[in-house]
Amino acid sequence: MSDDKDNLPVKSGDDHGHGAVEVSEPIPDPGIEPHEHRITDIDPKAADRVERQVATMFSLAGLLALGACVAYFAIPRDATLVFGPLSGNANNMTIGLCLGLALFLIGAGAIQWAKKLMVDTEIVEYRHPGHGTPEQKADIIEGFQTGVAESGFTRRKLIRRSLIGAMALLGLPAIVLLRDLGPAPGRKLYDTIWAKGIRVVNDVTLRPIKPSDLIVGQLVNAAPANLAPIQEESGVEYQNAKAKAAVIVVRIAPNEIRTPAGRENWGVDGILCYSKICTHVGCPISLYEQTTHHVLCPCHQSTFDLADGAKVIFGPAARPLPQLPLAVDAEGYLVAQSGFTEPVGPSFWERG
């Protein structure tokens, strides 16, 4: 019975490896298979035919990109395409089909170009350290330049021009579709429906709130009293207005409140009102801890100290909750002195 070690390559020489000669591997290296030339390598007419095919794909891609722009304006937004039991918006489907085919043709043309026209040679790449020497970097640059030359990009003008045209036209639909972003919001991100004299009401019962309705340590979810007329006019406008105007009203012992400068008269007997919308990404918050006066956002755990101007004490939020100045009207109900003095909700790009 033979030992498997007898089949392994061996070296002859002393114990330190001096004069060692490696014996050949038991399985010979098969090497690289003979190179097979493509038809486009030996037949210039075939190469020209493939070049025309690739240029046609790129040209059609450009036309389809233009078609997407035309469809955006020409097809009515409420038009419908019906395919048996299926149906869909004609405008969206046409734009999507044109852009999808344009991208497909650019990809297919690039593959055809690489497989049939670019230089087809086998190379061997040896392993090397992760960092490169100046010589290796120079070799990479030289290799890139050689690849550009071998690809025929500079020589085959028809392909180059059709590809550049297709890529340039493909950007037009992206520019046209920016129109769907709608009109600029103007001051909508800054303002809410809170205004001077608007009563604070319970967001469930819609009953106006008096200071006597709140005890120390209590937190109430509230809303402006002028939400009801908006609800009757438009459900969408109502939801948007309610989402931005939602507030929390809390009563804290006055001696435990650290009032920020300039807000000395924004509370009523320890009653403070803050936006309910987290300044991180806009989640509603009302998880309140009476002993610390901290309110927690359930989404990303931003924590605000309501006894200290609702400043951030933990989490990713970048600014305190906006505070609504409160007062009491002639009938003893809590009302807003004004609207919020800063935008509510998460910060947006214009705020930095």
User: Which amino acid belongs to residue 310?
Assistant: A
Q: Which two tokens stand for residue 36?
A: 């097979």
pLDDT at 256: 95
Q: How confident is the model at residue 283 (pLDDT cuts 50, 70, 90)?
A: very high
Which is more confident, 111 or 180? 111
| Tens-place pLDDT, residues 195-219 | 999 999 998 888 999 999 999 999 9
Q: Which two tokens stand for residue 103?
A: 């991208």
Percentage of residues of the chain with pLDDT beyond 70: 89
User: Which amino acid belongs to residue 314?
Assistant: F
Residue 272's closest CA among 227, 334, 202?
A: 334
Phi/psi zone of residue 309: left (φ > 0), alpha (ψ -120 to 50 degrees), beta?
left
User: Exposed, middle or buried: residue 313 (CB in 10 Å: 0-12, 13-18, 19+)?
Assistant: middle
